[in-house]
Structure 1
Amino acid sequence: MSFKTIFIICATVLITVILMQNQDEVLFKILWKEMYVSKLAMMLSLTFIGFIIGLILGRPKSKPEQKQIPLEIENTENVITNTENKSSLSDEDRDYIS
């Protein structure tokens, strides 16, 4: 298993344990409003929001399209076209292999 898979499994188990231990209701003050909300609901919603933000920031960036530049060879006399020895091995390589 990869490191990423092991990390995700451990993080999921840890988050589940923490959420199950905090089920009681507490008073939350959000700006000017006070309300009783269970710790479980608040922590679960914040974990979900953090997960969504992580997905958005962690996705791979799209690469801009690259323009195709035509390749022109002006001087074709200097191009080496040795096709007979391309796939053959040298004598040293044959001795090393055998």
Structure 2
Amino acid sequence: MRAKWLVSVGASQILPQGGHVFRDTAMLRHAAIQGHGIALFAMELVTDAIAAGDLVAPFPNMFLPTNNAYYLITRSRRLSAAAGSFIRWVKAVAGASGAGL
């Protein structure tokens, strides 16, 4: 992912070498908060830590586009009030993050 991000921000001449690779985002987040280096995250996973001052987004307007997506699919029948509330919440969160639906 580091190489893709570097290319997306026009820094393809920099070659990422070495470093730790975390397969668990919770461990990566903890290591970044503890000052063990830099990390690439989906903003949704670190917005609270940035707001609290635990992490810094040095390039807040640089994003790596992905093809990842979540799909919200419902039946055509009437939904329960709880299901309707959940769908409204998902749409609000997706809209606030800029992800859209």
TM range, normalised to the smaller chain? under 0.3
Higher relative contact order (CA 8 A, sep 6+): 2
- Greater percentage in strand: 1
Q: Which has the larger radius of gyration?
A: 1
Select the structure that is richer in helix.
1
TM-score (norm 1): 0.26
